[in-house]
Amino acid sequence: MELNDGNLQTLTEFLQKTLDPDPNVRRPAEKFLESVEGHQNYPLLLLTLLEKSQDNVIRVCAAVTFKNFIKRNWRIVEDEPNKISDQDRTAIKANIVNLMLSSPEQIQKQLSDAISIIGREDFPLKWPDLLTEMVTRFRSGDFHIINGVLRTAHSLFKRYRHEFKSNELWTEIKLVLDTFALPLTELFKATIEFCQTHATDVGALKVLFSSLTLISKLFYSLNFQDLPEFFEDNMETWMTNFHGLLTLDNKLLQTDDEEEAGLLELLKSQICDNAALYAQKYDEEFQPYLPRFVTAIWNLLVSTGQEVKYDLLVSNAIQFLASVCERPHYKHLFEDQNTLTSICEKVIVPNMEFRSADEEAFEDNSEEYIRRDLEGSDIDTRRRAACDLVRGLCKFFEGPVTAIFSGYVNSMLGEYAKNPGGNWKHKDAAIYLVTSLASKAQTQKHGITQANELVNLTDFFVNHILSDLKSSNINEFPVLKADAIKYVMIFRSQLPKEQLLQAVPLLIAHLQAESTVEHTYAAHALERLFTMRGPNNSTLITPAEMAPFTEQLLNNLFKALSLPGSAENEYIMKAIMRSFSLLQDTIVPYIPTLIGQLTHKLLLVSKNPSKPHFNHYLFESLCLSIRITCKANPTTVGSFEEALFPVFTEILQNDVQEFLPYVFQVMSLLLEIHSNSIPSSYMALFPHLLQPVLWERSGNIPPLVRLLQAYLQKGGACIANTSADKIPGLLGVFQKLIASKANDHQGFYLLNSIIEHMPPESIIQYRKQIFILLFQRLQGSKTTKFVKSFLVFVNLYCVKYGAIALQEIFDSIQPKMFGMVLEKIVVPEVQKVSGAVEKKICAIGITKVLTECPAMMDTEYTKIWTPLLQALIGLFELPEDDSIPDDEHFIDIEDTASYQTAFSQLAFAGKKEHDPIGDAVGNPKLLLAQSLHKLSTACPGRVPSMLSTSLNAEALQYLQGYLQAASVQLV
């Protein structure tokens, strides 16, 4: 694509169309952009547009498209096409910083993200001048430019907060500190001076305070891994100024908005984070500054209001106190009973109250409320922080803290009892206090695993929780109902089983509640209860115990999906999946009705997939329905195909990328249930599965390979007879996969199925070419994973076609090739083969080579006979060799940096391990003994003499054992 006005105009028109709400206009435009993004100059055309277009919407659209293009394609992945030419890469890096700094803020943010994505891959080695180019801009004095640099630096360095320690990381951080730490400190001091000189200019202050916030975030990132020497030497400068900013109160920066945090709040909350980091990790060096920070943060907490805009600040301030009170050598600061009472009264209790803002979120923004409350992403909520502070204080002062709070809990419950309608928020706070007091350790899987002995959870459940669950009006006091459900859920491992069983029908009733939070919590609680393990590792709650409620449970779960706001509620869908899994064949009578509802739901969500978890559990539920029903009666598979194929066809025709891997897995499951034949509906689809475009997406590869394996297993002969012209296509797929280090094992899965299930005559003409391809890959890039797969394939070929055929095909490619493969690959590497089935295939294949291949007995190959036998005995007796050469780094499928749909394995579509040999050979050791006996009978005296001269003593001993077990001897 040339950089000319015509192409800029075309690109503008298509970008315009991608914003069109009509999918018939939008989709083709997106497809067009996808089709040209591999052309040279495409990213440069986007950069030209975002710089020069007169239309602001197009500029922003070009910026977003550019960032997403970089996100998908900048990382160079082995075996994947590189869509950005070297010239384009160089040009982008040469211009992007300047462009970012001279763009308006909306575009600046997109380009800043793009720089950090490029930097993640190329900095520092391939982009050494990035930092110096950025640091020189600090001198510009223009804070629009400076903030652009700071924002980019923040997105570049924030990964230091969660990277694992490594020498590479240290080297990079050291380089950054050498270039960046001093200019950042100078900028920090200068910005604070500017704040004083411009103290009355609100416009200037806003820019300066956003700079200070970014500088504070950078301080956190650069200090996270370890305390750098530079920052230790300059701690006085940083801490004195941080303390000054914490206590600063500039009226000009206060906002009227009650919801949105202002610049002052954002800066102070970041400083609380920085102080907490130092208090936790560098407490010795930070000790001189700690008392003044504790005082400043305490004063901040006591004087800050309840408005939502202060939430982040208050929660970070409380987190600071929580991190300090857990450290043994700060214990003295909190020992005094008055201090504890004061913290409880002035900080913890007020921040546990359910405010009107929380009530609004509960009613009107339930998804966000659930995300924060259930999934623990409420890290920035006041309640979570207060809860953490309670836990921190209980570490050293459990007795006094529990006593202080018990008084509060009793008085709150007393207030509620006087006037439940008016005082329900008191009970809500009481339940929250009990929860935070009681929970010492928690896991996603088991809920609370360790509880405070001073709190009687069972009594509290009976006296205060059960009444809310049993209330006949499920829509009254929804917040308290949600609290009660959550109590059962988090203390499920602490409450006795009879109380959980008592709660089950009550939770089922709450699935019909109007409140989204309430019925979501009910679904989530049931799902968690159903995963609990009983004493003998079966489920704690049995299908028999669920029998009286099964119909009600299934009815209410499916009805809940039609409640407003819950059409794609992932918790309900997960509960449906878990109920199917628990109840097993008791759901069979309900499946004909339920499968209709599930397929209808699938059709709706496939129009616009937006909830990945919901979709995943939906497909899992479909798999369970199929598995459970067909286990009881395999002939029902046809009725599932009737229900599902119309929807699957639509998904395939519309190329709904997110769903294709799932559809292939469900189809594999269905096809594997059929007895040995392929229905015509599947055969019609077969040619489409070989289309190269499907194999371009890494997420499709594992499920497509499995589906093709199912085709071969059920109808290898049928394919050979009716679709022989498709065999080259099938081998083309194998060739593509085998060339990739990430997917070569998938290529072997396919090849093994071809060898195992296709009639020999149908592939005879292709066999030599297959081996040539494998040898080319072995010469080009030999990896441990490839060699392991290659060994299994060669031995499967030997089992299937015989040892003579194997020797002949090798030697037809190149004379003496057979001996080279045995000597250079089989003997030294077979110990690396892992997996019971794989080892069995190799053992039988090698046994056949040893005992059924005349060339091994009377040509130059004879010298390899004993080493090969020794290697086979090693495979039986020695531990597996799982060493991998240092220079090999496998790209796991999950780790490839494509931003396409990743492959999501469906747990309930699991494939049973397939053993191509089956029961034909029970014990490969006995087979070896019997085969050697047969060989020695055919040529008496040869085998014992070969053994006695060169097999080591230990191996010989093992072999004697096999011969004895098989009751045979060598002659």
For 849-861, give the DSSP string.
HHHH-THHHHSGG
For the record, the structure tokens of 740 come out as 């990739």
Model pLDDT for residues 262-281, shown as the tens digit of each residue: 899 999 999 999 999 999 99
Closest CA to 608 of 562, 666, 658, 662: 658
Closest CA to 751 of 779, 723, 731, 768: 731
In a domain, 874, yes or no: no
For the record, the structure tokens of 7 come out as 């192409």
Closest CA to 95 of 65, 61, 51, 58: 51
pLDDT for 771: 97
Model pLDDT for residues 80-130, shown as the tens digit of each residue: 778 899 999 999 999 999 999 999 989 999 999 999 999 989 998 999 999
pLDDT for 891: 30
For the record, the structure tokens of 905 come out as 């394995």
In a domain, 244, yes or no: yes
| Residue 660: Cβ within 10 Å count | 20
pLDDT for 971: 87
Find the mean pLDDT for residues 801-820.
Answer: 96
Alpha-carbon span 117 to 131, nearest angstrom: 15
Range of the domain at 263: 227-327
Residues with Cβ within 8 Å of residue 761, at least 6 apart in sequence? none
pLDDT for 900: 37
CA angle 590, 595, 598 (to 5 degrees): 125
| Residue 449, φ and ψ in degrees, nearest 5 | -105, -15
| Residue 440, φ and ψ in degrees, nearest 5 | -100, -40
Find the mean pLDDT for residues 703-711.
Answer: 96
Alpha-carbon span 248 to 250, nearest angstrom: 6
For the record, the structure tokens of 671 come out as 């096809």
Tell me: pLDDT of 24 over 90. no
| Residue 742, φ and ψ in degrees, nearest 5 | -75, -30
In a domain, 957, yes or no: no
Burial bucket for residue 41 (CB in 10 Å: 0-12, 13-18, 19+): middle
Residue listed under structure tokens 């009006």: 473
Exposure string for 460-498, b = 16+ CB within 10 A, e = fewer? bbeebbbebbebeebeebbbbbbbbbbbbbbbbbbbeee
Is the distance from CB of 270 to CB of 220 less than 8 angstroms?
A: yes
| Residue 567, φ and ψ in degrees, nearest 5 | -60, -35
Is the distance from CB of 834 to CB of 788 less than 8 angstroms?
A: yes
Closest CA to 675 of 723, 719, 618, 714: 714
Mean pLDDT score of the chain:
91
Residue 441, SS3? strand
Alpha-carbon span 298 to 293, nearest angstrom: 8
| Residue 450, φ and ψ in degrees, nearest 5 | -140, 130
In a domain, 278, yes or no: yes
Is the distance from CB of 832 to CB of 882 less than 8 angstroms?
A: yes
Is the distance from CB of 712 to CB of 672 less than 8 angstroms?
A: no
Tell me: pLDDT of 444 over 90. no
Is the distance from CB of 469 to CB of 506 less than 8 angstroms?
A: yes
Is the distance from CB of 434 to CB of 459 less than 8 angstroms?
A: no
Closest CA to 765 of 809, 717, 705: 809
Alpha-carbon span 522 to 553, nearest angstrom: 11
Model pLDDT for residues 869-918, shown as the tens digit of each residue: 999 999 999 888 777 655 443 333 233 233 234 568 888 888 878 888 88
For the chain, give the percent of residues with pLDDT over 90.
76
Is the distance from CB of 757 to CB of 916 less than 8 angstroms?
A: no
| Residue 570: Cβ within 10 Å count | 20
Model pLDDT for residues 918-936, shown as the tens digit of each residue: 888 889 999 999 999 999 9
Alpha-carbon span 66 to 199, nearest angstrom: 39
Residue listed under structure tokens 């059960």: 466
Is the distance from CB of 100 to CB of 155 less than 8 angstroms?
A: no
| Residue 443, φ and ψ in degrees, nearest 5 | -130, 155
Is the distance from CB of 20 to CB of 60 less than 8 angstroms?
A: no
DSSP state letters, 879-913: PP-----TT-----GGG----SPPP---GGGPPPP
Q: How many residues does the chain have?
A: 971
Tell me: pLDDT of 452 over 70. no
Count how many domains the chain has. Answer: 1
In a domain, 251, yes or no: yes
DSSP state letters, 257-300: -SSS--HHHHHHHHHHHHHHHHHHH-HHHHGGGHHHHHHHHHHH
In a domain, 271, yes or no: yes
List C-alpha distances in Å: 381 to 63, 373, 771.
Answer: 33, 9, 62
- Least confident span in 44-53, 266-275, 627-636, 942-951: 942-951
CA angle 642, 569, 592 (to 5 degrees): 25
Tell me: pLDDT of 459 over 90. yes
Closest CA to 413 of 375, 464, 371, 454: 464
Strand (E) or helix (H) holding 488: helix 478-490
| Residue 4: Cβ within 10 Å count | 10
Is the distance from CB of 234 to CB of 292 less than 8 angstroms?
A: no
Look up residue 466 and give its amino acid. L
Alpha-carbon span 718 to 727, nearest angstrom: 12
More confident residue, 902 or 965: 965
Instruction: Work out the pLDDT band at 260, boundaries 50, 70, 90.
Output: confident
In a domain, 307, yes or no: yes
Cα diameter, the chain: 107
Closest CA to 357 of 425, 437, 419, 263: 425
What dihedral angle (degrees, nearest 10) is formed by the CA atoms of 679, 684, 690, 691?
-150
Closest CA to 872 of 801, 958, 935: 958
Alpha-carbon span 834 to 883, nearest angstrom: 12
For the record, the structure tokens of 212 come out as 């200070």
For the chain, give the percent of residues with pLDDT over 70.
96
pLDDT for 77: 81
Instruction: Work out the pLDDT band at 627, boundaries 50, 70, 90.
Output: very high
Enumerate helices (H) and strands (E) in the chain, giving the number of each: 51, 2
Model pLDDT for residues 636-691, shown as the tens digit of each residue: 999 999 999 999 999 999 889 999 999 999 999 999 999 878 999 999 999 999 99
Plot region of 537 (φ>0 → left; ψ -120 to 50 → alpha; else → beta): left
Alpha-carbon span 727 to 730, nearest angstrom: 5
Alpha-carbon span 764 to 808, nearest angstrom: 13
Is the distance from CB of 437 to CB of 399 less than 8 angstroms?
A: no
Closest CA to 150 of 183, 175, 103: 183
Tell me: pLDDT of 445 over 50. yes
Tell me: pLDDT of 586 over 60. yes
Sign of the four-CA dihedral 608, 609, 614, 616: positive
Look up residue 441 and give its amino acid. A
In a domain, 452, yes or no: no
